[in-house]
Structure 1
Amino acid sequence: MQTLDLHELKADEAIKCFLNEYENYQKTREAFRLVHGYGSSGEGGKIMRRVRQILQDNSDKLKYSYGEDIDGNPGYTIIYPNQKMAPFTDLLAQEILGFCEVSKVQGKILSKFRKHGDSNIIRTLKNLEKHKMIKAGSKGIHKTWTKL
């Protein structure tokens, strides 16, 4: 079984690498071990939490087994890719979904992800809404977004 080791990368780099490599493994439907580490906080690291959220969001496209269920080690996951992941499993969409676990006003979202550009952020929000992954609301005069 091949191993993809992400735990030495920064979270954004790790997720991008995982998404790219998943496509390669999916083409051959080859299972692989994803080493994401557990994080130094003792509560699970950013990479592990984000990878697991992606896996849960795409559970109809793949199967997976957490390391702690296999041998007690939460620092890796075995992934069995079957189909391509959802069309909005991209880095910006995943970051926005993670940020909007609790309702956020649009201004905060634009500020947090400003490096991506306002038009790209708004387009991603609308696409996520179209695919029923996030919902729009309001808080006073401000538009809000919340992950479903």
Structure 2
Amino acid sequence: MVIDLHNMTCNDAIRFFITKYNELYKNGYRGSIEVIHGYGSHGEGGVIKKRLRKFLLENKSSLKFTINANPGVTFVVPVKAIPQMKNEISKDILEFCRENPKSLDKIKGNFFKKYTNREILATVKSLVKKGELESFFKKNHEVYLAK
């Protein structure tokens, strides 16, 4: 079984991986999945590889993974379904806003390479609505602080 993440943005690659992994898991597949992410020959040093492996470490209760001699491949064995990526953006924003209040512009500026403005805005609104992020004004600017 192979999941190829070539020619995707980092976020799209992670989402695609999660979707395909969960489909395989749901259909009863428990063998090794060869995840082809490339090794970073385009000057960015393997952005997808780094993000994927970080994601795998963060979800190690849901899977097992091994790195072999080929730096462009990671092998993954499903243990249970992986939560969708929307949980990751929520965790990131809450962690970023934990110590000091942050404006929406600061939040966007910190995560613009990882998430779209639309994803950031929707997540901030959702976190405020759920009471996990507090919204208030500081020097005439709306800021957000994790509760």
Q: Same fold (TM over 0.5)?
A: yes
Aligned to 2:71: 74
When the two structures are superposed, what TM-score results if normalisation uses the length of structure 1? 0.65
Task: Select the residue among 88, 93, 96 that pairs with 1:94.
Answer: 88
The CA deviation string for residues 3-58 of structure 1, in whole angstroms up to 9 with x for no partner, is 1111222222212211110102212223210001122236332x112211221111
Alpha-carbon contact 2:90-2:123 (below 8 Å) kept: no
**Bigger Rg, which one:** 2
Aligned to 1:17: 16
RMSD of aligned alpha carbons: 3.4
* CA distance, structure 1, for counterparts of residue 129 and residue 59 of structure 2: 20
How many residue pairs are counted as aligned between the two chains?
Answer: 127
Aligned to 1:38, the other structure's residue is in SS state coil
* CA distance, structure 2, for counterparts of residue 29 and residue 126 of structure 1: 38
Q: Percent identity?
A: 24
Task: Select the residue among 96, 107, 110 that pairs with 1:109.
Answer: 107
Aligned to 2:43, the other structure's residue is in SS state coil
When the two structures are superposed, what TM-score results if normalisation uses the length of structure 2? 0.65
* CA distance, structure 1, for counterparts of residue 120 and residue 49 of structure 2: 27
Q: Does 1:43 align with 2:45?
A: yes
* CA distance, structure 1, for counterparts of residue 74 and residue 12 of structure 2: 18
Q: 1:81 to 1:106 in 2, by over 3 A?
A: farther
Aligned AA for 1:49?
A: K
How far has the Cα of 1:119 moved from its partner? Answer: 4.1
Q: 1:94 to 1:48 in 2, by over 3 A?
A: farther
Q: 1:117 to 1:54 in 2, by over 3 A?
A: closer
Aligned to 2:17, the other structure's residue is in SS state helix
Alpha-carbon contact 2:89-2:120 (below 8 Å) kept: no
| Structure 1 unaligned blocks of 5 or more | 130-135
Aligned AA for 2:107?
A: I
| Structure 2 unaligned blocks of 5 or more | none
* CA distance, structure 1, for counterparts of residue 11 and residue 121 of structure 2: 19
